[in-house]
């Protein structure tokens, strides 16, 4: 499917820390089983807030995993990124000591070290300026996750943080692939990380009326495409992919988990938080990604939808799928794994790309849990309630963000036929 002479970019490893598990294997196992990672908030006292549920990374001990010094000098979203990067690099077999100058890092986040800003503000208000941590300025920055990962693993190639709200993870993967295609790196650790479950983070999204308030039934709160959906569930976590120039990967005998054959990004230029109801930006984005991949809509065997569980997004996304795929929209299986992970914001697009790759590998589609009463406007095959066997060789992931950001990734198994 690749264009003649075009540099091919493959996925040679993955790493993840999510509300469903502390690595890729446990996260995927939970997805296959249709488990929910949503529960009562435990990271802070949320008793006085209108939203008291979230999808937290449970059992994560940064000090035990990274050591006290590294944990203290990194925000939670950077800590998650370092752990996921270590998993990915170990899985990849890359010798960073030899090729570190040719390995890049492209890790984005929606809000960065939000808990650091929150703590610094409280300290300033309560105890004065002299008590604010000298690490606060650096650790709160959105780019610091990428920088910290590079320092931890010794990657000295290009290093950037993509920021496009909830499209961040997908954009980071797509842009990293472009780095490789233009020769800036032979490999890139790419994806997104997020840790916005703080009093400020939850309160801000709740004030925007974006979050589910199903506080008494957290496991059923994330309900993409369901008639009774009432908002997304905020989640934290990190997902990273090791992208590599195909010939370089083959030369070193690396395992190939898939290939990035298409990527596109567009803007709605419509509203600060609401998607264009016509789906125009999403439609153009999907069509462009398919064109760059050199395939037709009918070649796509599985779609991992943005599927947030908000009234506006789910309906607009459904309209976009119908516009692009025509009658094929009704026969192409689609699922929203946010029904299980919650919305990992800047990390969402990356974990959903991983879900696409694993779905193709295992020939199994993860479900959209809690889809008990489909919205009449959302009448496509959203793989409701339980997963199913299937054998897609091409999959697609869509991601959309506040500000009108749209991103689309097209992936294949990476196996030539």
Q: Which residues are catalytic?
A: 166, 306, 343
CA distance linking residue 256 with residue 334, whole number of Å: 24
CA distance linking residue 416 with residue 262, whole number of Å: 16
- Residues in the chain, overall count: 417
3-state DSSP assignment of residue 125: helix
Q: Produce one character per residue of 112-128: b if its CB has 16 or more CB atoms within 10 Å, e if not.
A: bbbbbbbbbeebeeeee
CA distance linking residue 368 with residue 318, whole number of Å: 14
C-beta of residue 177 within 8 angstroms of C-beta of residue 243? yes
**DSSP string of 359-379?**
HHHHTEEPPBTT--SB-TT--
C-beta of residue 412 within 8 angstroms of C-beta of residue 258? yes
Radius of gyration over every alpha carbon of the chain, rounded to an integer in angstroms: 20
Would you state the structure tokens that stand for residue 127, as one six-digit string?
A: 């105890």
């Amino acid at each position: 499917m690749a264009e003649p002479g075009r540099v091919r970019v493959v996925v040679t490893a993955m790493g993840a820390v999510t509300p469903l598990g502390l690595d890729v294997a446990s996260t995927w196992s939970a997805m296959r089983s249709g488990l929910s990672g949503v529960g009562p908030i435990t990271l802070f006292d949320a008793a006085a807030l209108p939203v008291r549920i979230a999808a937290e990374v449970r059992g994560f001990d940064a000090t035990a995993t990274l050591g006290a010094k590294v944990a203290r000098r990194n925000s939670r979203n950077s800590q998650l990124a370092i752990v996921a990067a270590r998993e990915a690099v170990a899985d990849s077999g890359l010798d960073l000591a030899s090729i570190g100058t040719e390995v890049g890092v492209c890790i984005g986040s929606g809000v960065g070290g939000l808990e650091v800003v929150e703590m610094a503000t409280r300290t300033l208000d309560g105890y004065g300026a002299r008590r604010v941590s000298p690490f606060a300025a650096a650790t709160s920055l959105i780019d610091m996750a990428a920088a910290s990962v590079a320092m931890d693993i010794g990657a000295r190639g290009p290093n950037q943080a993509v920021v496009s709200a909830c499209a961040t993870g997908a954009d980071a993967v797509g842009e990293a692939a472009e780095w490789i295609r233009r020769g800036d790196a032979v490999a890139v650790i790419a994806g997104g990380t997020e840790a916005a479950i703080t009093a400020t983070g939850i309160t801000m999204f709740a004030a925007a009326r974006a979050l589910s308030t199903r506080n008494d039934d957290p496991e059923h709160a994330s309900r993409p495409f369901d008639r009774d959906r009432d908002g997304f569930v905020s989640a934290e976590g990190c997902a990273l992919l090791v992208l590599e120039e195909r010939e370089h990967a083959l030369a070193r005998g690396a395992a190939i988990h898939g290939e990035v054959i298409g990527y596109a990004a567009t803007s709605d230029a419509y509203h600060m938080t609401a998607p264009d109801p016509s789906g125009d930006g999403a439609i153009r984005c999907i069509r462009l990604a398919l064109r760059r991949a050199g395939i037709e809509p009918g070649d796509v065997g599985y779609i991992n939808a943005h599927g947030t569980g908000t009234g506006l997004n789910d309906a607009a996304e459904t309209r976009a799928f119908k516009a692009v795929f025509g009658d094929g929209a009704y026969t192409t299986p689609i699922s929203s794994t946010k029904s299980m992970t919650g919305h990992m914001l800047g990390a969402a697009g990356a974990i959903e790309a991983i879900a696409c790759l694993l779905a193709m590998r295992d020939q199994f589609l993860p479900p959209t849990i809690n889809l008990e009463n489909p919205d009449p406007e959302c009448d496509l095959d959203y793989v409701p309630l339980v997963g199913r066997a299937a054998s897609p060789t091409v999959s697609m992931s869509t991601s959309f963000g506040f500000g009108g950001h749209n991103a689309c990734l097209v992936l294949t198994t990476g196996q030539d036929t």
